[in-house]
């Protein structure tokens, strides 16, 4: 049976890493959420695509707008699983995912070589599966290392 998955990321490297997971998600019912409308050309035909406002912790108004955009997407999609490679859109999506009863997966960015990202540190207690892409950052309580998407 197909799982209903919401795959969420901000732009740049976060989006590249999320796209690298596409093959692993083949055969599932996927909707993508990101911050750039032109990224739609990167996803498989037939997958649903949403664009949301990009935000940072320094711009509270954009975070509020982002939260409401995500709420509408969650209301429409009702995902069973939420996967994110970061940053703010992913963080808020995992938090909403828990409220909507979804399983949640956070994959910390490969760019975070020295330490887990701030978003990753803050989302840890809300993620059902918390992953790092660097073996030396993995610890028994999480994040866990299962490989890299790059």
Q: Residue 124 falls within a domain, yes or no? A: yes
Distance from C-alpha of 116 to C-alpha of 134, rounded to nearest angstrom? 9
CATH of the domain at 111: 3.40.50.2000
Q: Residue 150 falls within a domain, yes or no? A: no
SS3 26: coil
Q: CB-based contacts of 22: which residues, under 8 Å, 6+ apart?
A: 43, 44
Helices 88-99 and 60-77, packing angle to 10 deg: 50
Percent of the chain with pLDDT strictly greater than 70: 99
Q: Residue 75 falls within a domain, yes or no? A: yes
Which residues constitute the domain of residue 47? 4-145
User: For the chain, how many structural domains are there in total?
Assistant: 1
Asked if 137 contacts 115 with a C-beta cutoff of 8 angstroms, the reply is yes
Asked if 58 contacts 79 with a C-beta cutoff of 8 angstroms, the reply is no
Higher-confidence position of 115 and 101: 101
Angle at 88 between CA 8 and CA 60, to 5 degrees: 140
Q: Residue 34 falls within a domain, yes or no? A: yes
Residues 12-17 have a mean pLDDT of 95
Could you check whether the bond before residue 31 is cis, i.e. omega within 30 degrees of 0?
no
Distance from C-alpha of 32 to C-alpha of 39, rounded to nearest angstrom? 10
Q: Residue 50 falls within a domain, yes or no? A: yes
Q: Residue 114 falls within a domain, yes or no? A: yes
Is 9's pLDDT higher than 70?
Answer: yes
pLDDT band at residue 150 using 50, 70 and 90 as cut-offs:
low
What does the radius of gyration of the chain's CA atoms come to, in whole angstroms?
Answer: 14
Q: What is the 3-state secondary structure (H, E, C) of 119-148?
A: HHHHHHHHCCEEEECCHHHCCCCCCEECCC
């Amino acid at each position: 049976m197909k799982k209903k998955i919401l795959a969420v990321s901000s732009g740049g490297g976060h989006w590249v890493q999320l796209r690298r997971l596409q093959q692993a998600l083949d055969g599932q019912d996927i909707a993508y959420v990101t911050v750039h409308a032109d990224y739609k050309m990167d996803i498989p035909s037939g997958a649903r695509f949403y664009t949301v406002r990009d935000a940072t912790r320094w711009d509270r108004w954009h975070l509020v707008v982002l939260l409401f955009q995500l709420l509408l997407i969650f209301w429409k999609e009702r995902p069973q699983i939420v996967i994110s490679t970061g940053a703010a859109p992913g963080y808020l999506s995992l938090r909403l995912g828990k409220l909507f009863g979804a399983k949640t997966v956070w994959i910390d960015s490969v760019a975070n070589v020295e330490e887990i990202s701030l978003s990753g540190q803050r989302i840890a207690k809300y993620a059902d599966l918390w992953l790092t892409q660097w073996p030396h950052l993995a610890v028994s309580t999480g994040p866990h290392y299962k490989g890299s998407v790059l």
